[in-house]
Every structure is written in C-alpha cells, then in structure tokens.
Amino acid sequence: MTTIDSNPVQISVNETTVISGLLVVPPAAKACFVVAHGAGAGMLHPFMTSLANDLAARGIATLRYQFPYMEKRGKRPDTPAVCHATVRAAVAAADELTASLPLIAGGKSFGGRMTSQAQAASPLVQVRGLIFLGFPLHPPKQPSDARGEHLSRVEIPMLFLQGARDEFAEPALLNPLIERLGSRATLCLLPGADHSFHVPARGALTMSQINGLMLEALTAWVDASIV
C-alpha cells in the first residue's frame, strides 16, 4: 500500500492550550474523518496510523489529534468539558483545512464517546455523521447503558463498529440501545474481535480480515450516509 504523507497541524483549543494533529488527504478525497484517540494511546498509536493510511487508500481523508492530557504525556484524561472543547476545535480545524469535504467525527473508544457527548450537548454543525470504533458503553464487568443515554440527543447518522467480544459493550445492553436509536444508528459487529479489534490466534478470522471487514463497513456507510 502506498502511504500518503501526514501533514502536522497545530490546533488551538483556547487561549492557553494548543494541541497537535496529523492531516492525511488523499487525491480526490470524498470525505474527512476527524478521529480522536482512545484513553490510553495517542494519535501515533499503530492502530491510528494504520487507520489513516487504510482510509486514504479508500478516498477518505483523516485529521487525527491529541487531547491535551495526551499532548502533555499525562495518564489521567482531561475533564469532559476540556475534551468536548478539543473535539470542537479539531472539527473547526478540519473544516478550515478541507473546506470542500463532508466531515465525519468520532474516534476510538474514549475518543468516540467524547465526540458523541460534544455532539449531544451542542451539535457540531459541520459534521454529517459520527463513527465509533468500539463505543465504550460501560467498564468491563460493570454492565450498564448509562454512558449511552446521551446518544438519544444525537440527530445525525451514527456507525457503531464493535467487536463481538467487546467487554466494554455487552450485546444485551448494546443491541437494545441501537434499536432505540432507530434509523440513525448502524451497528457492524466484527466476529471474534475484542474492544481493540484483536482476535484469538486460532480464531475463525485473522486480524487482517477483521480490519478489512471494518474498513469495508466504514467505507460503505460513508458512501451511503455521508457523500
């Protein structure tokens, strides 16, 4: 696969906080995914880098970015208010940098949840849809759907890409939530995958195959719902 260069960008969250981002725009891009990282790994994690390259090959640009705590190499995530402000700043930067492209927002686990919370609190007017790469509905072994309550206030299309073995989203809770969201929500279960989209070494599908299924579902949803 040909790797497209990532262009570093600086994003101002407020008067005192500036974060880093990486913009990848393939030729003839059809949309841009503003993608936030998970709680424990930043935008340079191999998953995030591979995602940007794989989506570029499918005509989808990406702007991935750091939350302030990750920029400072801290371990404790920022408050929701700070995270929401960061999401808004990243979306505004993407809108400015890729003015002609439809925008999608979301992210991996924590990053996706912070994005959906921001959207639910006050719509990101530039954003046409949300993509969740493993939505963290609850901590492992602490089943609850309380973290999904705000999704009822999201009025744009949402794509949930979830591992079938995801301990952060038990099917008995996730499936009814998706049903309650109605036509706004699309669920794609990745067979045998966990929260990180890893599969057992002797599973029916390899990680490469799971990644392919995830990318196919994401691209098809963008084509059908966004562009």
Q: Say if 144 falls within a structural domain.
A: no
Q: How confident is the model at residue 157 (pLDDT cuts 50, 70, 90)?
A: very high
Q: For residue 58, give both structure tokens.
A: 């499918």
125: in domain: yes
Confidence of residue 4 (pLDDT cuts 50, 70, 90): confident
- Domain CATH code at residue 76: 3.40.50.1820
Burial 88-120 (b: 16+ CB within 10 A, else e): bbbbebbbebbeebbbbbbbbbbbbbbbbbbbb
Token pair belonging to 1: 């696969």
Q: Is residue 148 part of a domain?
A: no
Say yes or no to pLDDT of 1 above 70. Answer: no
List of E strands, 88-142? 103-108, 127-133
Q: Is 19 inside any structural domain?
A: yes
CB 153 within 8 A of CB 120: yes
- Residues of the chain with pLDDT > 70: what percent? 99
pLDDT bracket for residue 2 (50, 70, 90):
low
Give the count of domains, the chain: 1
H or E, element range at 66: none
List the domain range (segments joined by +) for residue 190: 7-138+155-225
- The predicted-structure confidence for 93-138, as pLDDT tens digits, reads as follows 999 999 889 999 999 999 999 999 999 999 999 999 999 999 999 9
CB 131 within 8 A of CB 112: yes
- The reply to whether the predicted model has a pTM over 0.85 is yes
Alpha-carbon span 163 to 214, nearest angstrom: 10
Is residue 211 situated within a structural domain?
A: yes
DSSP assignment of 133-151: ES---S-TT----GGGGGG
Residue 165: pLDDT band (50, 70, 90) is very high
User: 146 lies in a domain?
Assistant: no
pLDDT of residue 47 exceeding 60, the answer is yes
- The pLDDT of residue 203 is 79
Site of tokens 């999704």: 151
Q: Please check whether residue 100 lies inside any domain of the structure.
A: yes
1 forms beta bridges with none
CB 130, CB 116: distance < 8 Å:
yes
pLDDT over 90 at 29, yes or no: yes
What confidence tens digit (pLDDT) does each residue in 171-181 have?
999 999 999 99
Q: Give me the half-sphere count of Cα atoms (radius 13 Å) on the Cβ side of residue 187.
A: 17
> Is position 184 within any domain?
yes
